[in-house]
Amino acid sequence: MVIAPPPAQTASGVALLQPAHVGYMTLKHRVVLAPLTRMRADKAHVLHPIVKEYYSQQASIPGTFLIAEATLISHQAGGYAHVPGIWSNEQISRWKEITQAIHSKGSFVYLQLWAQGCTAAPRKHIQPELLRRLVDNVEPNFPYDFVSASDIPINPDDPQKPRPLTIDEIKEYYKWYATAAKNAVEGAGFDGVDIHGASGYLVDQFFQDMSNSRMDEYRGSVENRARFGLEVVDAVLKAVGPEKTAIRINIKENLPDGEDNDFIREIWTQEGNSRWLISAGGYSRDIAIQTVEQKGGLVAFGRAFLANANILLVTTSSDSSPTKLHITARPSDPVRAKHSAQ
């Protein structure tokens, strides 16, 4: 997940709990809510009213940066039921109530822009247990084609192959991304947007050679496979500006001892630019503190934040600056151990 880091500053206390100026936002600390799909939207992909309460809780420490759940840029880009969208007036109005609630707490929020590609395809060859769960999630009577970078399904046994997007359709996606970004920022009041370029969804389907076997300028070299994602970034940048644009990408997971993903920090922060990098995935309290102390940036928490909402940061000072960090959960889970900093 990318937006940038000057080196961690440790003037006093824990760098993770120091303020940061990210785009137009002044964050009071560097703990971020990672985007978390909750499947709480109705048939028209409008979030249920209860979601406002949920995000208010996550925003309850002033100066917190939230990244709201993956949200469909258009109906055609979807295929899951119960996930939110950002193309209709009703969807935008509901999101606006939510951003207003977050801002009223003094916190900030980006919306994650999502196109599913072939992850939306119904699977017919899977275990009945899993099928039941997926059928609940797959939008009944989805009226559009299942599409991807090419005709490779997620599961090789899947009888239904996605259809590769044509060049004209790719260009249409850029327009949807741009409109969705404008709807989010100008319509719904988000502080910015985060393009979902990870987890095997459409942008990632172009990135990865195992899902991209196209025959045109979008396949082959790294530059070609990155083309779709970069052109999406361009479209969104033009729509809402660079200070309000972020992209989430996956790098390597489960690295062997001695290897790390720090090359991405070096690439991203070279030439003294002022971009921020948010890292996420399996952070414990101690590793998050150590990472920001030594390497700068911000750290996003998913499950631990979800489980703790307004107790993630416990404020004690009069101006509500966080002075304590609590992450509480099952001791067996390395992500979650009961801690109290300072």
Ligand X SMILES: Cc1cc2nc3c(=O)[nH]c(=O)nc-3n(C[C@H](O)[C@H](O)[C@H](O)COP(=O)(O)O)c2cc1C
- Report the DSSP beta bridge partners of residue 148: 164
Structural tokens at position 126:
């899977």
Shortest distance in whole angstroms from residue 215 CB to ligand X = 30
| Smaller CB separation from ligand X, 37 or 323 | 37
Q: How far is the CB of 302 from ligand X (least distance, A)?
A: 3
* Binding string, residues 151-190; x marks residues near ligand X by CB under 6 A: ----------------------------------------
Tokens of 248: 């989430």
Question: Residue 269: left (phi > 0), alpha (psi -120 to 50), or beta?
Answer: alpha
CB 278 to ligand X: min, Å: 10
62 versus 302: smaller Cβ distance to ligand X = 302
Q: Which is nearer to ligand X, 20 or 246 (CB)?
A: 246
Residue 152 or 335 having the CB closest to ligand X? 335
- The minimum distance between CB 197 and ligand X, in angstroms, equals 9
**What are the beta bridge partners of residue 31?**
299
Residues 87-126, one symbol each (x = binds ligand X by CB under 6 A, - = not), give -------------------------x--------------
User: Pick from 94, 196, 275, 285: which binds ligand X (CB under 6 A)?
Assistant: 196
Check 54, 80, 173, 201 and give the catalytic one. Answer: 201
Nearest distance in Å: CB 172, ligand X: 23
32 near ligand X (CB under 6 A): no
What phi and psi, each to the nearest 5 degrees, are found at residue 231? -70, -30
Q: Name 252's Cβ contacts closer than 8 Å, sequence gap at least 6.
A: 259, 261
CA dist., res. 149 & res. 233, Å (int): 17
Smallest separation (angstroms) from ligand X to the CB of 244 = 18
Residues facing 315 on adjacent strands? 322
Could you tell me how many residues of this chain bind ligand X (CB under 6 A)?
Answer: 20
> How is 290-326 classified by DSSP, letter by letter?
HHHHHH-SEEEESHHHHHHGGGSEEE-STT--EEEE-
Rounded-to-integer distance, Cα 73 and Cα 75, Å = 7
Query: Which stretch, 34-42, 132-140, 159-167, 214-222, contacts ligand X (CB under 6 A)?
Result: 34-42
Out of 37, 179, 284, 290, the only residue in the binding site for ligand X (CB under 6 A) is 37
Span of 31-39, 142-150, 215-223, 313-321 interacting with ligand X by CB under 6 A: 31-39
Backbone phi, psi, residue 202, to 5°: -55, -50
Report 233-272 residues binding ligand X (CB under 6 A).
Answer: 248
Catalytic, 201? Answer: yes
Residue 317 contacts residue 324 (beta carbons within 8 Å) = no
In the bound state with ligand X, the residue whose beta carbon lies nearer, of 219 and 233, is 233
Q: Which two tokens stand for residue 195?
A: 């393009």
Pair 336, 328: CB distance under 8 Å: yes
Using a 10 angstrom Cβ sphere, with 0-12 exposed, 13-18 middle and 19 or more buried, the burial of residue 327 is buried
What is the distance of C-alpha 331 from the center of its chain?
Answer: 27
List the alpha helices (DSSP H) in 186-257: 202-207, 222-240
With contacts defined by CB under 6 A, name the span among 33-41, 141-149, 286-294, 310-318 that binds ligand X. Answer: 33-41
Footprint of ligand X on 266-325 (CB under 6 A) = 280-283, 301-304
- Minimum CB distance to ligand X smaller for 153 or for 302: 302
DSSP H or E run through 71: strand 65-72
Q: Where are the alpha helices (DSSP H) in 105-165?
A: 128-137
Q: Which residue's Cβ has the minimum distance to ligand X?
A: 302
Enumerate the active-site residues: 201
> Residue numbers of the site for ligand X (CB under 6 A)?
34-37, 69-70, 112, 196, 198-199, 248, 280-283, 301-304, 335
